[in-house]
Amino acid sequence: MPPNRSKPNNLVQTIERVALIFDILGMAPNGISVGELSEKTGFPKGTSHRLLSSLAYFDYVRQDPVTKNYQLGFKLVELGNRLLGHLDFRAVARPFLIHLAERTKETVHMVILDRNEALYIDKVDSSEHRSGLRMVSMLGSRLPAHCSAVGKVLLAHLSDAAFDEVISHKGLAERTRNTITEVERLRAHLKKVFAQGYALDNEENEIGIRCVAAPIRNERGAVIAAISISVPALRSEKSKLETTLKDRVVETALNISRKLGYPQ
């Protein structure tokens, strides 16, 4: 899925090819051979090999010495985590998220808006169901903004122009029967979210999962992220979500915001 940026007029071919290679390797847990890569990309084998071995030199990919297959390299882990480390609000928030997860015994997420989608930048499972597995595969993954509680919180604090851009690029895909798919209805809904300071997700993204989310603000009051609690629909009478859990998410979000310098 090509991102929604304007395509640069002078897109460098090698970068385009490397991006394609990374995407393909990202879907191949055990790596792929030079031949397979050429098959999938249409590059001649020599070309595939030249690109892979150049990438391997810098540890962006690595070659299994026995199968000769190429897979993603650990330089990507280093860079990805360096980027996350640069998001200082994330470090500030983390202890609060852990506390929230332990107090509610539910899963907590932290999300930012990036390229018109909700992007997971942290996740804490309650100690009960900490698996770790999911967390890892989740960081850096994306969710439509219009059908998640976190996404709606972020949308609600956007300028009209920015909101329109999200809609025009991403639309309002129907993920479940509860998804809000009409722009005007969404606009009205977000007005309410803005006013009340939190958003609910009533199985709008995935049947069986409900969430409550609240905004994180920086020292200037700008909304820079959102946090949420996710609850299996079975375990959640809708009322509890809208009372206890809602209060705790809102409270935690405010505490994080204050720590970030948000006055009041």
Partner DNA sequence: GACAATATTTCGTAATGCGAAATGCTATTT
Partner DNA sequence: AAATAGCATTTCGCATTACGAAATATTGTC
Q: Which residues sit at the interface with DNA, rule CB under 7 A?
A: 8-14, 17, 33-36, 43-47, 49-53, 63, 66, 68-69
Contact 259, 92 (CB under 8 A): yes
Count interface residues toward a second copy (CB under 8 A).
64
If one counts every other C-beta atom within 10 angstroms of the C-beta of residue 122, the result is: 21
Q: How far is the CB of 66 from DNA (least distance, A)?
A: 6
56 versus 233: smaller Cβ distance to a second copy = 56
If one counts every other C-beta atom within 10 angstroms of the C-beta of residue 69, the result is: 18
φ, ψ (nearest 5 deg) of residue 83: -60, -45
| Residue (of 130, 133, 134, 110) closest to 120 by Cα position | 110
Rounded CA-CA distance 237/92 in Å is 32
Q: How far is the CB of 44 from DNA (least distance, A)?
A: 3
Both structure tokens of 103: 């107090």
Question: Which listed option, a second copy, DNA, none, makes contact with residue 68 (CB within 5 to 8 Å by class)?
Answer: DNA
Q: How far is the CB of 134 from a second copy (least distance, A)?
A: 9
With H, G, I as helix, E, B as strand and everything else as coil, classify residue 160. helix
**Does the footprint of a second copy cover residue 24 (CB under 8 A)?**
no
Q: How far is the CB of 93 from a second copy (least distance, A)?
A: 9
Both structure tokens of 66: 């026995």
With H, G, I as helix, E, B as strand and everything else as coil, classify residue 3. coil
**Does the footprint of a second copy cover residue 220 (CB under 8 A)?**
no
Q: Give, as one character, the DSSP assignment of residue 208.
A: T
**Does the footprint of a second copy cover residue 11 (CB under 8 A)?**
yes
42 versus 95: smaller Cβ distance to DNA = 42
**Does the footprint of a second copy cover residue 177 (CB under 8 A)?**
no
Residues 137-166 binding a second copy (CB under 8 A) are: 137-141
Q: Give, as one character, the DSSP assignment of residue 32.
A: B
Rounded CA-CA distance 165/171 in Å is 10
Question: Which listed option, a second copy, DNA, none, makes contact with residue 43 (CB within 5 to 8 Å by class)?
Answer: DNA
Q: Which parts of this chain interact with a second copy (CB under 8 A)? A: 3, 5, 7-8, 10-12, 14-16, 18-19, 22, 26, 29-30, 50-51, 53-60, 62, 71-86, 88, 90-91, 94-95, 98, 114-115, 119, 121, 127, 130-133, 136-141
